[in-house]
């Protein structure tokens, strides 16, 4: 089913008749295509839904291209990022091209969908900026963190679900709630994996977020549990390279205070909210996506 | 008149309720607002035209933010660029935010205008990539150069004029031809100024384009005039720092073969085509914009 989305993206880019762009695109890791799956599972497989899924995935790819430049990320899902291979300039330019093609194609989807998705891109752009600015200090506010990951990650999933439901004549707001809650949970879990996974499985170093200044939910909850001197110790490690002892101190305290369990329960609650939003729709595939997200060990 | 455009841009950004973005925006040089002028001179001053002008200027500003990162440009119109002051990351992120707000607002302008402007953004993104890729070798093909500057610079002026005429119920295709020809001439003249102006007036070093690998029209025409050994000499200077003797050799040969005059006549011809396209419209302000563009000495 996703094959048709890949074909459509290929077709759209081929129609530019531009060798270099086509070539750059082939180097782009395809990822899980989670947003495309949501769209096709909600709207079924038809010309319009495949087009919408392709547009959203091109926009998502564009955002990742720019994110990787902004975060100096040399890897994306275990393979070298476009900026690592072809430099920042090519990553920025390919991102701009994919964004603009996405927007151009979006107009033909009708104003309701075009507004929803383009608004999500505004949100995700702001979310990326918030992520960078929040990293400059030790953010200890879970609400601010949650708002940022909603914008950065969940907004496009929310808009994808809303738009797919609109296409299919289903209840857009119910599916939007599903997409939003799923998206926030997805990012929370991704942030937890930075602490619980080793580089082999994740393709990036563990505690990488914290070294970069990103105080994701586990660090916020850990901070809350620590006493004053420990709080100072944790804050002093923020946004710098950590030696092995420091890494172990963080990981052992996260274990000691059951921080991952606490975060997991919060993510699970969001997933349950996502499931509840579309309960009456009885969409097994969407239910499975949500359940699989929390059906893993940490 | 442009004041209302500035106010509208300010209003749109203020509505994001985001301190950092608002602050970054105040550091953005406003430029000549040529595209806004075209729109207001074509569609008159009303709510819709001011909104369209604001959208196009936000999109244009976004493209310049990314261009300056891609070109490592530390100055923009004589003042430090955003990437120079706040770094590449902020320039990329602010560009993405302005692009996405522009697209979001564009949807409300109706599908005809939204298609035209978003297609122009596809073209200008491709034009920027072409500019970078062409710079890797000594491009000697004037047609390729002209196609690139059409995409990079003229496409958004073409779409601005087309969209403004659509708003006003005027002939969109005639105005589009005006915008396209004006835009190509504008970029040609800008490229000539890199050779004829000193750093004081232009805010960047003379021959900067050639040092960067950009063989603009004067270099292409100069190359055509030179004999084989001189051709090799010019090609050997491509895309590297030049000493004073080399700079003088280029400038004296450009003078010797009347290259600037040749380029000027070509730009003038485009301006005359622009004027001819809207002759029956008798729009004095648009006529003046076109005439002023070629009414300067080189």
- % of residues, chain A, pLDDT over 90: 88
Measure the CA–CA gap between A282 and A42, rounded to whole angstroms: 11
Give chain A's radius of gyration (CA, Å).
20
| Listed range (A74-88, A104-118, A124-138, A141-155) with the worst mean pLDDT | A74-88
Report, as an integer, the average pLDDT of A13-41: 94
Are A217 and A297 found together in one domain? yes
Are A105 and A136 found together in one domain? no
Asked if the Cβ–Cβ distance from A111 to B107 is below 8 Å, we say yes
Q: Confirm whether B259 is domain-assigned.
A: no
Are A59 and A159 found together in one domain? no
Q: Which helix (H) or strand (E) holds A76?
A: strand A75-76
Looking at the predicted structure, is the pLDDT value of residue A117 above 50?
yes
Q: What is the reported pLDDT for A229? A: 98
Q: For chain B, what is the mean pLDDT?
A: 94
Among chain A residues, CA nearest to B122 = A100
Looking at the predicted structure, is the pLDDT value of residue B108 above 90?
yes
Asked if the Cβ–Cβ distance from A66 to B97 is below 8 Å, we say no
Q: Confirm whether B169 is domain-assigned.
A: no
Site from B20, B72, B87, B93 to mutate, A interface, most A CB atoms within 10 angstroms: B93
Q: Which of A109, A136, A170 is the last residue of a domain?
A: A109
Residue in the structure block whose two tokens are 């105080």? A215
Looking at the predicted structure, is the pLDDT value of residue B204 above 70?
no
Are A180 and A105 found together in one domain? no
Residue in the structure block whose two tokens are 């969409």? A283
| Listed range (A208-222, B125-139, B141-155, B194-208) with the worst mean pLDDT | B194-208
Q: How many CA atoms lie within 13 A of A165 on its CB side?
A: 21
Q: Which residues of A touch B122 (CB under 8 A)?
A: 16, 97, 100-101, 104
Q: Which residues of A touch B89 (CB under 8 A)?
A: 69-70, 132
Q: What b/e string do you get for B139-171 counting C-beta neighbours within 10 Å, with b at 16 or more?
A: beeeeebbebbbbbbbbbbbbbbbbbbbbbebb
Q: Which of A88, A107, A121 sits opposite B118 (nearest CB)?
A: A107
Q: Which of A92, A109, A126 is the last residue of a domain?
A: A109
Report, as an integer, the average pLDDT of B224-251: 96
Asked if the Cβ–Cβ distance from B126 to A89 is below 8 Å, we say no
Are A176 and A290 found together in one domain? yes
Q: What is the reported pLDDT for A199? A: 59
ipTM, two decimals, is 0.95
Tokens of A68: 């990787």
> What is the total count of domains within chain A?
2
CB B260 within 8 A of CB B298: yes
- % of residues, chain A, pLDDT over 70: 98
CB B274 within 8 A of CB B283: no
Q: How many CA atoms lie within 13 A of A138 on its CB side?
A: 18
| Listed range (A67-71, A148-152, A276-280, B49-53) with the worst mean pLDDT | A67-71
- The pLDDT tens digits of the residues spanning B264-281 come to 999 999 999 999 999 999
| Listed range (A109-113, A134-138, B38-42, B241-245) with the worst mean pLDDT | B241-245
Report, as an integer, the average pLDDT of B177-201: 90
Among chain A residues, CA nearest to B95 = A125
Q: Which of B69, B118, B126 sits opposite A103 (nearest CB)?
A: B118
Are A224 and A235 found together in one domain? yes
Q: What is the pTM of this model?
A: 0.95
Q: What is the reported pLDDT for B202? A: 44
Q: What does the DSSP assignment read for A207-269?
A: THHHHTT---HHHHHHHHHS-HHHHHHHHHTTTS---HHHHHHHHHHHHHTTHHHHHHHHHHH
- The pLDDT tens digits of the residues spanning B30-55 come to 889 999 999 999 999 999 999 999 99
Among chain B residues, CA nearest to A125 = B97
Are A170 and A51 found together in one domain? no
Q: Which residues of B touch A22 (CB under 8 A)?
A: none
Measure the CA–CA gap between B175 and B191, rounded to whole angstroms: 24
Q: Which residues of A touch B155 (CB under 8 A)?
A: none
Are A77 and A183 found together in one domain? no
Which residue segment(s) compose the domain that A137 sits in? 110-298
CATH number for position A49: 1.10.600.10
Band of the pLDDT at B200, cuts 50, 70, 90? low
Looking at the predicted structure, is the pLDDT value of residue A298 above 80?
no
CB B165 within 8 A of CB B42: yes
Q: Confirm whether B87 is domain-assigned.
A: yes
Q: Confirm whether B168 is domain-assigned.
A: no
Band of the pLDDT at B29, cuts 50, 70, 90? confident
Are A80 and A129 found together in one domain? no
Q: Which of A69, A94, A109 is the last residue of a domain?
A: A109
CB A141 within 8 A of CB A249: no
Are A161 and A284 found together in one domain? yes
Residue in the structure block whose two tokens are 């040092």? B211
- The pLDDT tens digits of the residues spanning A149-194 come to 999 999 999 999 999 999 999 999 999 999 999 999 999 999 999 9
Phi and psi at residue A27, to the nearest 5°:
-85, -5
Asked if the Cβ–Cβ distance from A97 to B122 is below 8 Å, we say yes
Q: Confirm whether B291 is domain-assigned.
A: no
- The pLDDT tens digits of the residues spanning A229-263 come to 999 999 999 999 999 999 999 999 999 999 999 99
Are A149 and A255 found together in one domain? yes
A136 touches chain B (CB under 8 A): no
Looking at the predicted structure, is the pLDDT value of residue A296 above 80?
no
Best CA proximity match to B159, nearest among B184, B185, B177, B145 = B177
Measured in whole angstroms, how far is the alpha carbon of residue B30 from the centre of its chain?
Answer: 14
- The pLDDT tens digits of the residues spanning A198-238 come to 755 544 457 999 999 999 999 999 999 999 999 999 999 99
Q: Confirm whether B16 is domain-assigned.
A: yes
Are A236 and A297 found together in one domain? yes
């Amino acid at each position: 089913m996703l094959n048709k989305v890949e074909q459509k993206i290929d077709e759209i880019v081929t129609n530019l008749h531009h060798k270099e762009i086509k070539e750059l695109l082939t180097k782009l890791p395809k990822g899980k295509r989670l947003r495309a799956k949501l769209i096709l599972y909600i709207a079924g497989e038809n010309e319009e839904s495949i087009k919408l899924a392709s547009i959203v995935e091109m926009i998502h790819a564009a955002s990742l291209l720019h994110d990787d430049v902004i975060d100096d990320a040399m890897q994306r899902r275990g393979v070298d990022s476009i900026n690592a291979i072809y430099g920042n300039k090519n990553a920025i330019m390919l991102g701009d091209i994919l964004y603009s093609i996405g927007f151009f194609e979006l107009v033909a989807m009708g104003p309701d969908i075009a507004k929803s998705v383009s608004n999500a891109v505004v949100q995700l752009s702001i979310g990326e900026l918030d992520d960078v600015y929040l990293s400059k200090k030790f953010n200890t506010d879970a609400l601010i963190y949650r708002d940022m990951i909603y914008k950065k990650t969940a907004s496009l999933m929310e808009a994808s679900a809303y738009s797919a439901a609109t296409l299919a004549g289903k209840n857009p707001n119910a599916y939007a709630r599903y997409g939003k809650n799923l998206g926030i949970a997805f990012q929370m879990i991704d942030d937890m994996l930075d602490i619980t996974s080793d580089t082999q499985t994740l393709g990036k170093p563990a505690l990488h977020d914290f070294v970069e200044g990103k105080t994701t939910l586990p660090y916020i909850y850990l901070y809350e549990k620590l006493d004053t001197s420990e709080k100072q110790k944790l804050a002093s490690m923020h946004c710098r390279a950590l030696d092995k002892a420091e890494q172990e101190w963080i990981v052992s305290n996260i274990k000691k205070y059951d921080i991952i369990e606490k975060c997991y329960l919060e993510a699970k609650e969001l997933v349950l909210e996502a499931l509840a939003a579309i309960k009456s729709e009885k969409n097994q595939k969407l239910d499975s996506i949500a359940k699989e997200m929390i059906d893993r060990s940490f």
